[in-house]
Structure 1
Amino acid sequence: MSAGLSDNTAFVAWRVRQQEHVEQALSNWVLADAPAGLGLVMRYAVLDGGKRLRPLLALAACEAVQGDPAVAMRAACAVELIHAYSLVHDDMPCMDNDVLRRGKPTVHVKYGEAQALLAGDALQALAFELLVPDDGSVPAALSARLCRQLAVAAGASGMAGGQAVDLASVGVALDQKALEGMHRLKTGALLQASVMMGASTAALDAAVLRQLSTYGACIGLAFQVVDDILDVTTDSATLGKTAGKDAAADKPTFVSLMGLESAQAYADEVLDQAHQALSASALPHTDTLHALADWVGRRAS
């Protein structure tokens, strides 16, 4: 790994500051005035919780390429809205049937399944609305590119497809290649898209984009490996969600496949690859992206 930038005071200050900016932007864009209380459900699903890793990756990538920060904030919030909608739907009884998310009752537990379903639908729509503002602040070609990146990452070739594989894999002994393939879609695609959408706010050559894409893919895979580790080593109060649920549901995980120590070593290996890709990009402002990789590997929830 890199030289421990995730412990650096400057990075912590950057992270807290950007988390606050993202929270404020989300609060400004996810309004409470949707009909029949839907806005309140949407705000409950999005605000006051989560690490905001996806927005942070988008904003840090924008900084690395010296792109447009205002467009990057729209991209950051759009990705977070897609992530939030996916959590609302994944937690419902028809899928993971979970009751705890970000330390509070899941949306369907608090507001009912119908409102949860509608809130997820509305959050997904709002994500794309943010990328196509009617004030001309985002060039049309860039809006189209960002929308396509997000749609591919969220749809059948990305997150939704990965979730379908996940549901079909309960009780199935997947090998490492199949497990990685599932999580590159379910979790990794949106994390990778976060990086690439932030990078899209500047004009870059293909070689740099390839290295950033590799970085994003490695972050996505490492995040899931660490998530599997935390699922068996950390309690629900710390996680903010139900611990041990993968094992209870007989889902294949990196820990069940490799064992705890080997899974941790594999997470470290993948994060090393992320750092190497950043170094190979030769971009001059990648310290924050390096620090985010370290943070992914060392997080406790």
Structure 2
Amino acid sequence: MEKYLSRTEFYVPDQVDLEKAIKRTTHMAVLAHHDDIEIGAIDGVLQAFQKEDKWFFGVVVTDGSGSSRGGNYKNYTNEDMMRVRNLEQKKAAFLGEYGLQAFINAPSSETKDAKNETVVEEIRKMILDAKPEIIYTHNLADKHDTHIGVVTKTIKAIRLIDKSLRPKKLYAVEVWRDLDWLMDDEKVVFSVGHRPNLTSALVEIFDSQIDGAKRYDLATIGRRLANATFSNAHQVDQSDQVVNGMDLTPLIEDDSIDMVEFILAAIDRFKKDVENKIRKMI
């Protein structure tokens, strides 16, 4: 195994050896904040839940010090929030039977610094040790700067790995901007409604973000329900709950593809579709 920074923390819910836990990974998520996994990458959790041959590895990049706080948490210090956010994430990992949960514990400033390679290197080491088949991360059209920092650093990290050892798929998911605008034939549709008790509970665990701060519990399930219903106007619903994704795999198959041009091309296709629909009616 690679040697990790002293600040990086690992939690193994079933208490097997760390090396065994990381090497059994099939599905991995690299996301910015505590609860981003449970909001955006829930497909990976469900794919591995109670499966003997599939294991989910969640990675939270930031340290939680800048988290919103209200209600019973309004007077919590940054250090208090770091502690409680990591504890909540561990509870989610235990409930969701994750194979492994990692905390890079980086300040948000590191993720938003394009020249800082510390996070890139830590992500690279985790991917190289885990060798997952599938990775979930933020989408390149997300409106949260820290999320953009994480997705770009994840792509950079994978590009540092020999192509023969890279994941087969890299998917971007919805957190701080929906992907309903993406052309239908370009969406990766994750059906996540078959264990509603589990998926709801996983979001609800993050009490520090729900109590007096943000109703992520309601908003997350509401978006999934809306995605399922509004995905197609001419068909009956194919799923109770849906998370929309974008396939970023071309970016890790061809290192010459520019990340900016890749997402702008998708936006341009959406723009052209809107234009065509209006012009044919006037």
| Fold similarity call, TM over 0.5 | no
Task: Calculate the TM-score normalised by the size of structure 1.
Answer: 0.25
Question: Greater helix share, 1 or 2?
Answer: 1
